[in-house]
Structure 1
Amino acid sequence: MPAKVGAVKITNISSSGIFNIGDVYSMSPQSSAKTYAGGGSFNTGNGIRINLAHSNTKVMDVDKLDQNVTTVEGR
Protein backbone atom coordinates (compact mmCIF):
# COMPACT_ATOMS: atom_id res chain seq x y z
CA MET A 1 0.00 0.00 0.00
CA PRO A 2 1.51 3.34 -1.00
CA ALA A 3 2.53 5.77 1.70
CA LYS A 4 3.30 9.47 1.75
CA VAL A 5 6.82 10.31 2.87
CA GLY A 6 8.02 13.77 3.85
CA ALA A 7 11.49 15.20 3.37
CA VAL A 8 14.35 12.73 3.73
CA LYS A 9 17.99 13.59 4.38
CA ILE A 10 20.55 10.81 3.90
CA THR A 11 23.90 11.53 5.51
CA ASN A 12 25.66 8.23 4.92
CA ILE A 13 24.93 4.68 3.78
CA SER A 14 27.56 2.02 4.39
CA SER A 15 28.89 -0.12 1.57
CA SER A 16 26.68 -3.03 2.64
CA GLY A 17 23.60 -0.94 3.44
CA ILE A 18 20.32 -0.56 1.60
CA PHE A 19 18.08 2.50 1.43
CA ASN A 20 14.60 2.32 -0.03
CA ILE A 21 11.53 4.52 0.00
CA GLY A 22 8.37 2.94 -1.31
CA ASP A 23 7.07 -0.55 -1.85
CA VAL A 24 9.62 -3.34 -1.85
CA TYR A 25 9.33 -7.11 -2.05
CA SER A 26 12.69 -8.20 -0.70
CA MET A 27 15.82 -6.50 0.62
CA SER A 28 18.98 -8.39 1.56
CA PRO A 29 22.26 -6.52 2.16
CA GLN A 30 25.35 -8.70 1.94
CA SER A 31 28.83 -8.24 3.29
CA SER A 32 31.71 -10.29 4.61
CA ALA A 33 34.71 -9.63 6.83
CA LYS A 34 37.70 -11.48 8.24
CA THR A 35 39.11 -10.50 11.62
CA TYR A 36 42.29 -11.75 13.25
CA ALA A 37 42.68 -11.16 16.97
CA GLY A 38 45.24 -12.34 19.47
CA GLY A 39 45.04 -12.92 23.19
CA GLY A 40 43.50 -10.05 25.11
CA SER A 41 41.63 -8.68 22.12
CA PHE A 42 38.05 -7.43 22.21
CA ASN A 43 38.16 -6.72 25.95
CA THR A 44 35.82 -3.98 27.14
CA GLY A 45 35.35 -2.37 30.50
CA ASN A 46 37.00 -0.05 32.97
CA GLY A 47 40.35 -0.83 34.57
CA ILE A 48 41.24 -3.95 32.58
CA ARG A 49 44.80 -5.15 33.04
CA ILE A 50 46.26 -7.70 30.67
CA ASN A 51 49.75 -9.15 30.80
CA LEU A 52 50.41 -11.50 27.90
CA ALA A 53 54.21 -11.24 27.90
CA HIS A 54 54.94 -12.49 24.36
CA SER A 55 51.71 -13.00 22.47
CA ASN A 56 51.61 -13.82 18.77
CA THR A 57 48.71 -14.32 16.40
CA LYS A 58 49.78 -16.63 13.61
CA VAL A 59 47.45 -16.89 10.65
CA MET A 60 47.77 -19.47 7.92
CA ASP A 61 44.99 -19.06 5.40
CA VAL A 62 45.79 -21.08 2.30
CA ASP A 63 42.40 -20.90 0.57
CA LYS A 64 42.24 -17.05 0.56
CA LEU A 65 38.43 -17.08 0.06
CA ASP A 66 36.15 -17.82 3.00
CA GLN A 67 32.83 -16.06 2.39
CA ASN A 68 32.28 -15.67 -1.32
CA VAL A 69 29.63 -12.99 -1.73
CA THR A 70 28.20 -12.47 -5.17
CA THR A 71 25.49 -10.04 -6.15
CA VAL A 72 22.91 -10.27 -8.88
CA GLU A 73 22.06 -6.87 -10.32
CA GLY A 74 18.61 -6.01 -11.58
CA ARG A 75 16.59 -7.99 -9.09
Structure 2
Amino acid sequence: MPSIVGPIKINSIGGGVVNFGDSFYLSPKSSSKTSAGSGSLNTGDFINTNTGASITNPIDPDVNDQTQTANA
Protein backbone atom coordinates (compact mmCIF):
# COMPACT_ATOMS: atom_id res chain seq x y z
CA MET A 1 0.00 0.00 0.00
CA PRO A 2 1.26 3.50 -0.71
CA SER A 3 2.22 5.65 2.21
CA ILE A 4 2.34 9.38 2.75
CA VAL A 5 5.27 10.70 4.75
CA GLY A 6 5.23 14.26 6.02
CA PRO A 7 8.21 16.59 6.42
CA ILE A 8 11.23 15.00 8.07
CA LYS A 9 14.68 16.13 9.13
CA ILE A 10 17.62 13.75 9.45
CA ASN A 11 20.69 15.36 11.00
CA SER A 12 23.05 12.43 10.60
CA ILE A 13 23.16 8.69 10.00
CA GLY A 14 26.14 6.70 11.20
CA GLY A 15 25.65 3.86 8.74
CA GLY A 16 22.59 1.88 7.78
CA VAL A 17 19.45 2.43 5.74
CA VAL A 18 16.50 4.73 6.44
CA ASN A 19 13.23 3.40 5.05
CA PHE A 20 9.89 5.19 4.98
CA GLY A 21 6.80 3.30 3.91
CA ASP A 22 6.77 0.66 1.20
CA SER A 23 10.01 -0.45 -0.35
CA PHE A 24 10.72 -2.90 -3.14
CA TYR A 25 14.50 -2.67 -3.29
CA LEU A 26 16.95 -0.84 -1.01
CA SER A 27 20.44 -0.22 -2.31
CA PRO A 28 22.74 1.48 0.21
CA LYS A 29 25.69 3.22 -1.39
CA SER A 30 29.06 4.18 0.01
CA SER A 31 32.56 4.79 -1.25
CA SER A 32 35.91 5.40 0.36
CA LYS A 33 39.53 5.76 -0.59
CA THR A 34 42.62 4.64 1.30
CA SER A 35 46.21 5.58 0.61
CA ALA A 36 48.79 3.19 2.02
CA GLY A 37 52.36 2.28 1.17
CA SER A 38 53.57 -1.17 0.29
CA GLY A 39 53.38 -3.61 3.17
CA SER A 40 51.38 -1.29 5.43
CA LEU A 41 47.98 -3.02 5.46
CA ASN A 42 49.23 -6.52 6.25
CA THR A 43 47.49 -8.35 9.09
CA GLY A 44 48.28 -11.60 10.79
CA ASP A 45 51.01 -13.25 12.84
CA PHE A 46 54.72 -13.22 11.96
CA ILE A 47 54.61 -10.84 8.99
CA ASN A 48 57.88 -10.14 7.22
CA THR A 49 57.85 -7.68 4.34
CA ASN A 50 60.92 -6.57 2.40
CA THR A 51 59.81 -3.61 0.31
CA GLY A 52 62.85 -1.34 0.20
CA ALA A 53 61.82 2.27 -0.32
CA SER A 54 58.09 2.97 -0.44
CA ILE A 55 56.50 6.27 -1.45
CA THR A 56 52.73 6.83 -1.50
CA ASN A 57 51.19 9.95 -3.01
CA PRO A 58 47.88 10.72 -1.20
CA ILE A 59 47.13 13.76 -3.39
CA ASP A 60 44.18 13.10 -5.71
CA PRO A 61 43.75 15.60 -8.56
CA ASP A 62 40.48 13.99 -9.76
CA VAL A 63 37.20 15.67 -8.96
CA ASN A 64 35.22 12.41 -8.68
CA ASP A 65 36.53 8.89 -8.38
CA GLN A 66 33.25 7.03 -7.94
CA THR A 67 29.89 8.72 -8.30
CA GLN A 68 26.92 7.88 -6.10
CA THR A 69 24.04 9.23 -8.13
CA ALA A 70 20.59 7.75 -8.70
CA ASN A 71 20.50 3.96 -8.59
CA ALA A 72 23.71 3.25 -10.47
TM-score range, shorter chain: 0.5 to 0.7
CA separation in 1, counterparts of 2:22 and 2:61? 44
Letter in 2 for 1:54: A
For 1:34, the equivalent position in structure 2 comes to: 33
CA separation in 2, counterparts of 1:23 and 1:64? 35
| TM-score, normalising length: structure 2 | 0.55
For 1:50, the equivalent position in structure 2 comes to: 49
| TM-score, normalising length: structure 1 | 0.53
For 1:25, the equivalent position in structure 2 comes to: 24
Q: What 5-or-longer segments of structure 1 have no aligned partner?
A: 1-12
Q: What 5-or-longer segments of structure 2 have no aligned partner?
A: 1-12
CA separation in 1, counterparts of 2:30 and 2:50? 35
Answer 1 or 2: higher relative contact order, Cα 8 Å, separation at least 6.
2
For 1:69, the equivalent position in structure 2 comes to: 68
CA separation in 2, counterparts of 1:58 and 1:23? 46
How big is the shift at 1:14?
3.9
How big is the shift at 1:52?
3.6
Letter in 1 for 2:17: I
How many residue pairs match? The answer is: 59
How big is the shift at 1:49?
2.3
Q: What is the RMSD of the two structures over their aligned residues, measured on CA atoms?
A: 3.0
The percent identity for this pair of structures is 47
How big is the shift at 1:50?
2.8
